[in-house]
Chains A and B, each alone.
Chain A
Amino acid sequence: MNEERKGLKEKITKSDIWRSIFRHGYENTGRRYTLQVLQNVWLHLHPPRVSRHALNFRFTWCMGGITFLMFLVTAVTGVLLMFYYRPTAEYAFRDVQYLEFDIPFGMLLRNMHRWAAHGMVISVMLHMFRVFLTGSYKKPREFNWAVGVILLLVTFFLSFTGYLLPWDQLAFWAVTVGTNMARATPGLGHEGPFAPDVVTQANDVRFALLAGTIVGPSTLLRFYILHCVAVPLLASVLMALHFWRVRKDGGISGPL
């Protein structure tokens, strides 16, 4: 019986179909460990081997990985939320209410999206803190630090554009206060110093951000598209670059 089962297993795992999907076996050899990483699309950004201290939680705090995980969580929950949400002044608030009270697990979905977003802001700041404390921005990783700074801003902007979408008092006034700063941009905001006379509140940088002179329905649509399409795309591109450079600049930093 046992022999028979073994034969059957062998027959399956040696078949052309099986081997077209799984390129390697599962034996406990260094070669297989290497292939496991190299031949897996989800793992291939990793090198086959890392120095032992890279496994140390006390060294990395896992903060970069947690930031990426939070991004994935917001992406998945965000797509689900988009099924129930219309970015118009008439519907936005009602859709969030409907989501909270009538959709099964709607409240949980919204909570996960919001808290993962806040978690991402926390972890990205702590990640930067750790990278600074370990001096990991030093040669040859200077450029990747710069990419990381841009990613920090992108994270803030992602969170900020999402803040408006529930279209409640909290959202409306937080975004009003946040975008009011743009009025004062030197030269480009209508209340800023050195602004030429042609710069008015109907054509300055704040207007470009809000699509209006105050936060309104067109702002909602603009922030929605920025939040769901434009900024996540930018973030993804920059993250790909960031992870690639971590690898190309010699993997996780260490005293070399």
Chain B
Amino acid sequence: MEHFIALVTKPDNVPILAMLFLIPYFMWLSYKQARQTDKTGVPSDAALNDKVYVWPYLCRNEFVCAIIVMLVLGIWSITIDAPLEEPSDPTKTPNPSKAPWYFLALQEMLVYFDPWIAGVVLPGFIIAGLIAIPYIDINPKGKGYYTLKERPFALAVFCFGFIILWIVLMIVGTFLRGPGWNLFAPWEKWDPHLVVPLTNVNLSYLFGIREAATANFFGFAVVAGYFALGPIFYFWKRGTSRFLQELGLVRYVIVSFLFLSMLALPIKMALRLGLKIKYVWVSPWFNI
């Protein structure tokens, strides 16, 4: 327990504690408004043309908000000191070594994927995917107000990515990872000598494949098959789904590829934690 308390009271982890309250609060706030809109309908044009002067009304709001925020920041700065540890020493590696808190979701991903995927490719997809959102989301509804009913898929995907894959992984990486990047429950004592038997095997091994070239082909087939789910779904549903017709092939390819890449993370996590799978695809050049 003492290690967990030490982590929670670390000054640099205050933002994560704040997020623990802020995220549920804003989820609740937006949910309430979304329910309201879904029940009473989108506000009419007349209500929206109700304009007010920026000075004094908006400027006053900004001013009051700024004062409150500065007050919070002031109290935070007076009561909690920024951390300063020993002078840097390249020969003394702390265990665990952690990146700044906002990168801990990425560091947590390193458990499940090799660095070139977890540290470079997936972050690249996150950035590209975020930028692509307005261009692939062709649903004209739900612009400028909270709603659940009018865009359930977009909201579900984004909230899953943001809350589960970013915030929760960040919290796990910060509070539950100890020496050797092993998982420690809050009440457990950190044991720096803890030996976790690594009995992970590759997916091909589980299927009885022992030969490298066959395993390579098998892994390729599994990964290719996984990403082929996108096109298969498209050609299966294209005839009947108006949505797919409106989306078009190019947008669909991007959406399905990004969506499947995102889902690959929880799938790999489940494979690792549930079936002790190390790699799905082992090739001479890279492992996935």
Interface residues of A (CB under 8 A from B): 30, 33-34, 36-37, 43, 46-55, 57-59, 61-62, 65-66, 69-70, 73, 93, 96-97, 100, 107-108, 110-116, 118-119, 121-122, 125-126, 129-130, 132-139, 141-142, 145-146, 149, 152-153, 156, 159-160, 163, 166-174, 176-178, 180-186, 189, 191-194, 214-216, 253-256
Q: B61, B66, B146: which contacts A69 (Cβ < 8 A)?
A: B66
Known: A66-B69, A149-B130. A214 touches B90 (CB 8 A): yes
Whole-angstrom CA separation of A111 from B147 in the bound complex: 39
Q: Which of B79-87, B224-232, B250-258 contacts A (4 or more CB under 8 A)?
A: B79-87
Whole-angstrom CA separation of A117 from B151 in the bound complex: 34
Instruction: Annotate B105-124 by CB proximity to A: 1 below 8 A, 0 otherwise.
Output: 01100000011101111000
Assess whether B275 is interfacial by the CB under 8 Å rule. Answer: no
Known: A37-B55, A136-B144. A177 touches B99 (CB 8 A): yes
By a CB distance below 8 angstroms, the chain B residues around A172 are 88-90
By a CB distance below 8 angstroms, the chain B residues around A181 are 106, 115, 118-120
Known: A133-B146, A167-B87. A121 touches B120 (CB 8 A): no
Among A114, A159, A183, max chain B CB count under 10 A is at: A114
Known: A55-B52, A58-B33. A108 touches B88 (CB 8 A): no
By a CB distance below 8 angstroms, the chain A residues around B48 are 51, 53, 254-256
State the Cβ distance, A223 to closest chain B Cβ, in Å: 13
By a CB distance below 8 angstroms, the chain B residues around A132 are 133, 158, 162
Q: A47, A136, A184: which contacts B120 (Cβ < 8 A)?
A: A184
Q: A51, A107, A114, A116: which contacts B50 (Cβ < 8 A)?
A: A51
Assess whether B236 is interfacial by the CB under 8 Å rule. Answer: no
Known: A137-B134, A192-B116, A254-B48. A50 touches B54 (CB 8 A): yes
Residues A33 and B90 in contact, CB atoms below 8 Å apart: no
Q: B22, B29, B100: which contacts A58 (Cβ < 8 A)?
A: B29
Assess whether B97 is interfacial by the CB under 8 Å rule. Answer: yes
Residues B134 and A145 in contact, CB atoms below 8 Å apart: yes
Q: A43, A54, A112: which contacts B55 (Cβ < 8 A)?
A: A43
Whole-angstrom CA separation of A122 from B144 in the bound complex: 22
Known: A58-B29, A186-B121. A30 touches B53 (CB 8 A): yes
Interface residues of B (CB under 8 A from A): 12, 14-15, 18-19, 22-23, 26, 29-30, 33-34, 42-43, 45, 47-59, 61-62, 65-66, 69-70, 73-74, 76-78, 80-90, 92-94, 97-100, 102-103, 106-107, 114-116, 118-121, 127, 130-131, 133-135, 137, 139-147, 151, 154-155, 158, 162, 285-286
Question: Which residue of the partner chain B has the closest CB to A123?
Answer: B69
State the Cβ distance, B172 to closest chain A Cβ, in Å: 16
Residues B73 and A51 in contact, CB atoms below 8 Å apart: no
Whole-angstrom CA separation of A228 from B18 in the bound complex: 27
Whole-angstrom CA separation of A135 from B149 in the bound complex: 13
Query: Can you list the 8 inter-chain pairs with the closest CB atoms, starting with the nearest?
Result: A181-B119, A172-B88, A142-B134, A184-B115, A193-B286, A253-B144, A111-B77, A184-B116
Residues A110 and B144 in contact, CB atoms below 8 Å apart: no
From DSSP, what is the main secondary structure of chain B's interface residues? helix
Q: B56, B66, B115: which contacts A33 (Cβ < 8 A)?
A: B56
Residues A110 and B120 in contact, CB atoms below 8 Å apart: no
* Listed A/B pairs (12) with beta-carbon separation below 8 Å: A46-B54, A48-B54, A51-B50, A111-B78, A121-B102, A122-B22, A130-B30, A133-B155, A169-B92, A180-B115, A186-B116, A256-B143
State the Cβ distance, A192 to closest chain B Cβ, in Å: 5
Residues A134 and B145 in contact, CB atoms below 8 Å apart: yes
Q: B82, B133, B146: which contacts A110 (Cβ < 8 A)?
A: B82
By a CB distance below 8 angstroms, the chain B residues around A61 are 26, 29
Whole-angstrom CA separation of A62 from B72 in the bound complex: 15
Q: B54, B147, B155: which contacts A43 (Cβ < 8 A)?
A: B54
Residues A49 and B88 in contact, CB atoms below 8 Å apart: no
State the Cβ distance, B66 to closest chain A Cβ, in Å: 5
Residues B52 and A122 in contact, CB atoms below 8 Å apart: no
Residues B52 and A178 in contact, CB atoms below 8 Å apart: no
Q: B86, B151, B285: which contacts A168 (Cβ < 8 A)?
A: B86
Residues A122 and B97 in contact, CB atoms below 8 Å apart: no
Residues B85 and A170 in contact, CB atoms below 8 Å apart: yes
Among B78, B103, B143, B145, max chain A CB count under 10 A is at: B143
By a CB distance below 8 angstroms, the chain B residues around A153 are 127
Known: A55-B52, A173-B97. A149 touches B127 (CB 8 A): yes
Known: A108-B78, A111-B77, A134-B146. A49 touches B12 (CB 8 A): no
Known: A49-B54, A146-B131. A185 touches B120 (CB 8 A): yes
Known: A115-B76, A192-B116. A126 touches B22 (CB 8 A): yes
Whole-angstrom CA separation of A255 from B59 in the bound complex: 23
Question: Which residue of the partner chain A has the closest CB to B51?
Answer: A49
A-B contact sample (18 more), CB < 8 A, given A57-B61, A180-B119: A33-B55, A34-B53, A43-B55, A50-B51, A51-B48, A66-B69, A93-B88, A100-B81, A100-B84, A108-B78, A122-B19, A134-B142, A135-B145, A149-B130, A167-B88, A170-B12, A186-B286, A255-B145
